[in-house]
Structure 1
Amino acid sequence: METTRKDIALISGIGMVLFLLGNWAIAITDPVESNYTLTALEMLRSGDYVSPRIYGNFWYDKPAFFYWELIAAYKLFGVNEFAARFFPGVFGTLGLVMTYLFARKLYDRKTGLMAAGILGTCFEYWLLSKTVITDATLFVFFNAVLICFYLGYSTGKRNIYYLCYVFAGLATLDKGPIGILLPGFIIIVFLCIRREFKEIIRLRLLSGLMVYILTAGSWYYAMYTIHGMDFINNFLGVHNFLRATQSEHPMWNVWWYYLMIFFLGCLPWSWTLPAAIVKCIKARKLPELDKTSGFLLTWALVINIFYQCMATKYTTYTLPGLLPIAILIARYLYEREIFVKRTVAVMLALFAILTFTVAAPVCSQDGHSGKVVAGVYKDRVQTDDLVVSYGDYKTSNVFYGDHMVYRLEHKEDIAGMLPDGKSWNAKNVMPFMALEELPTDRDVYLILNNRKFDLFEKDFNTAEWELLDSFKSARVYYRKAK
């Protein structure tokens, strides 16, 4: 027990340093991080912690749990980059501890330490544990469902299954129905492969679902009570069903997408998969899988195959699959402990260097964040002044500028861009303003994407506009009221 405590303290300490180091210097980026940070900020300022909102509008993209994390961090550390990235780092560290404890329970201490080290130094895991998105939190809750299932299944202590429903409820509060559907599907697939159909009946389904509803249902019920079918149609219809059936980014809807993500995301450990396959081929036999290895493989493969079948593909979706993969890699490299230790040490140093030499400077560029652009006008803009964006709308301009920014478009085009509840336009909840109706009786700050400069010269009287500052991707202009 004393050894376990020391291991947890070591893993926690390294994890917190690794995932929090330099976060104060990494600007909030677009388009994803800024949506979360601004939504939580508006919830905090409104005092309404139930209904997510952005640009003053209710926003049904994600459930409330991650926003609650951000609000708590804002209260602890103020509204800044470190606060926004704090809980992803905390949950990233919890994921390492959870992996260590589970691998130690399945095998031994050495496997647990190696698995935690391998997971923490996978490029994707490090990156997402420093990113303002829901996935580090989902990683913990989603995988806790499967860990609790296997502990209950392998020991015969089936009351542990109730914890599955608690964690599934928390995962559903963080990401949506996928928090119970996919872990449940993995469990069913595993039991069917082993032909243990009676175990499905022993999963405490009725009483467990009551626990699940009590955990996750209160927020969903409150949202339906307040917003009715508008919440159902947007949250379930657009942000869940539409993602599964209609590709948001068609260019990435290819069969090899998650294979690519695996090899990139698992760096520097990706080579172990082909090495294991080659080893099996040379031995001229398939590996004889024990129950535990079979469960870990099922866990990892179902996640990747499931998301490969979805129309919309994101790099983050298969993150939960890294936990079983890390344990399997630890078992494959079990006799190469010195190599693993050296690789982990090198990667820890490399990630520290990348934080300050790549992540911080790149994220601060105006092409990725509105921080420097908003800094031009933030201290100048008055309450009645107007800030508009032409060519590339960035939510981070609103977050950093602390002033509403209107999306400037031609009047005839706006109708086709507004949310209609049936397409990806549902995400266009930012305020629009017709270019032809831009008022002349108010001071105006214009954020212009440099790629639209030719249209700017065509659509505006450039003589009226004063250039305040210019960057690689954008310029900021000012026009005084007439």
Structure 2
Amino acid sequence: MTTTKKHILILLAIGAVLFFLGNSFIAITDPVESNYTLTAAEMFASGDYISPRIYGNYWYDKPVFFYWELIAAFKVFGVNEFAARFFPALAGVAGLFMVYGFARRVYDAKTGLFSALILGTSFEYWLISKTVITDLSLFLFFNAVLVFFYLAYTSQHKNYYYLCYLFAGLAVLTKGPVGILLPGFIITVFILWCRDFAEIKHMRWLGGMAIFLLVGGGWYYIMYQLHGQIFLDTFLGIHNVLRATVSEHPKFNVWYYYTVIFFLGFFPWCFSLPMVIRKYWKKRQWPVLDQTTVFLLLWAFLVNGFYQCMATKYTTYTLPALMPTAILAARLLYAQERLVKRLVAFSICFYLALTFLVAVPLCNSSYSGRNIAVALQGHVQTGDMVINYGDYKASVVFYGHKTVYNLVHANELEKVRPKAMSWSSKNVMPFISFEELPDNKNLYIIVDKNKRSDFDKSFKTDEWKVVKMLPEATIYYRPAQGSD
């Protein structure tokens, strides 16, 4: 067996075990995963694969590509947890081969294998590969732009530049303008550092931009034609400009946020690097800072620096920086083969234990509304109304296939309803006030565990019958007025 075939089999086996195993048993969680799965499920059911929709309303939160992935998986595997997690897991495996191929090309096969092993067993990469969000798809397309740029830049095969534009288009179709702006910024800084301005004329601008506009711009054009200015105002205004300028979670808007995320996300390899650096420090022999190393360093630091400057911070934003970081770590650990093997073996065992002993029970009980939806089955009939009081779980709608109204007081309705250039724009679920609750319908109300005392104060509890008590919520029933 050749070295390449051996490496491929190793990465396939590790990718399958780490990213696919257990996915069927992990419930869809709130609030993020359920929004994606519910949107894709509604698009799938409606047959409209262009306009994302949730709760029956058009939904301009993210571009369409990840929804297409989910719909494709639903078509093949059915609407279930394994299908929802299929493409993130597949992207996780694909990412291993991308870093392997790139590091092998710019260095050697051993560096390629170590880079892929380090990346695949990094905590953040493993976690996102099992999570129903856009970030692993973006990781692939975003980093592919930079991979093919560098391959084109360092070789005579300038047609690689066309692949840069293709993947930039897919990145924009997955996440928005950042899919071309940030890779473009990194490339610009690298060209400035090299002072190789002559390379600009070889970048296949005319054909490349045609590819980018066709792949990345076609859906945006169709959406604008269908929905007009509201699409641009919501998608670009709220989900891009507002995120960059107004923090959605102000407590996380601190200067050290992504430093902490790096050490958490790069576990367990973050602990091995100081030992290696200390060894180099003692010998006063540092790795040569060649052109490739500079490119990888710019790639890693500029991704983190860019998002640190944004007002809204999420743990997953800097995921693309893990690829160059893994390659740099592989170079530092090149002679530490025993250490690498031990950490990989430890990580595989650790993540399997984490999957079945932590993720499966915790997601099923505390972070998903699946148990609530199951408890409602057999009770809710056509014409009955289901209401939520407290923490709203879109997963209840996904699993239960019922409309769930969010209950608030009448004087709070204006504050929580969607408004332009406000974070309330994300509140697209149906609302109902206490004062609007109908007497002529059977009512089922899901009372969040933190709202039970408020429920007792707001309602005559003798009118309500307990249907099911769960750790995360209690379900109550009130029959229509005049019924038995």
Alpha-carbon distance in structure 2 between the residues aligned to 1:100 and 1:341 = 16
1:174 counterpart letter in structure 2: T
Whether 1:354 aligns to 2:354 is yes
After superposition, what is the alpha-carbon deviation per residue over 1:434-465, rounded to whole angstroms, capped at 9, x for unaligned?
Answer: 11110111111100012112211121111111
Residue 402 of structure 2: SS of its match in structure 1?
A: coil
Deviates more, 1:47-56 or 1:463-472: 463-472
Alpha-carbon distance in structure 2 between the residues aligned to 1:281 and 1:341 = 24
What is the CA RMSD across the aligned residues, in angstroms? 1.5
Whether 1:383 aligns to 2:382 is yes
Alpha-carbon distance in structure 2 between the residues aligned to 1:234 and 1:359 = 34
Mapped contact 1:188–1:200 kept (Cα < 8 A): no
Residue 59 of structure 2 is matched in structure 1 by: 59
Residue 342 of structure 2 is matched in structure 1 by: 342
Whether 1:447 aligns to 2:428 is no
Residue 368 of structure 2 is matched in structure 1 by: 369
Shift of 1:476: 0.7
Shift of 1:3: 3.5
After superposition, what is the alpha-carbon deviation per residue over 1:323-351, rounded to whole angstroms, capped at 9, x for unaligned?
Answer: 11111111101001121112101211211
Deviates more, 1:231-240 or 1:266-275: 266-275
Shift of 1:352: 1.1
Shift of 1:7: 2.3
After superposition, what is the alpha-carbon deviation per residue over 1:44-94, rounded to whole angstroms, capped at 9, x for unaligned?
Answer: 000000000000000011111100111111111111111110110000000
Residue 412 of structure 1 is matched in structure 2 by: 411
Shift of 1:287: 5.3
1:209 counterpart letter in structure 2: M
Residue 416 of structure 1: SS of its match in structure 2?
A: helix
Whether 1:434 aligns to 2:427 is no
Residue 90 of structure 1 is matched in structure 2 by: 90
After superposition, what is the alpha-carbon deviation per residue over 1:378-418, rounded to whole angstroms, capped at 9, x for unaligned?
Answer: 23211211000011111111111110100001111101111
Q: 1:64 to 1:466 in 2, by over 3 A?
A: same
Residue 143 of structure 2 is matched in structure 1 by: 143
Alpha-carbon distance in structure 1 between the residues aligned to 2:118 and 2:286 = 25
Mapped contact 1:378–1:402 kept (Cα < 8 A): no
Alpha-carbon distance in structure 2 between the residues aligned to 1:2 and 1:219 = 44
Q: Determine what percentage of the aligned residue pairs are the same residue.
A: 58
Alpha-carbon distance in structure 1 between the residues aligned to 2:307 and 2:277 = 23
1:398 counterpart letter in structure 2: V
2:71 counterpart letter in structure 1: I
Mapped contact 1:386–1:405 kept (Cα < 8 A): yes
Whether 1:480 aligns to 2:479 is yes
1:321 counterpart letter in structure 2: A
1:462 counterpart letter in structure 2: T
Alpha-carbon distance in structure 2 between the residues aligned to 1:454 and 1:2 = 67
After superposition, what is the alpha-carbon deviation per residue over 1:238-271, rounded to whole angstroms, capped at 9, x for unaligned?
Answer: 0011111110000000000000000000000012
| Counterparts of residues 114-153 of structure 1 (less than 5 Å) | 114-153=114-153
How many residues were matched structurally? 481
Alpha-carbon distance in structure 2 between the residues aligned to 1:378 and 1:430 = 21
| Counterparts of residues 101-180 of structure 1 (less than 5 Å) | 101-180=101-180
Alpha-carbon distance in structure 1 between the residues aligned to 2:275 and 2:302 = 21
Residue 220 of structure 2 is matched in structure 1 by: 220
Shift of 1:114: 0.9
- TM-score with structure 2 setting the length: 0.97
Alpha-carbon distance in structure 1 between the residues aligned to 2:283 and 2:305 = 27
Shift of 1:30: 0.5
Shift of 1:272: 4.1
Q: 1:480 to 1:171 in 2, by over 3 A?
A: same
Q: 1:6 to 1:284 in 2, by over 3 A?
A: closer
| Counterparts of residues 228-239 of structure 1 (less than 5 Å) | 228-239=228-239
The runs of 5 or more residues in structure 2 that have no matched partner are none
- TM-score with structure 1 setting the length: 0.97
Alpha-carbon distance in structure 1 between the residues aligned to 2:153 and 2:190 = 11
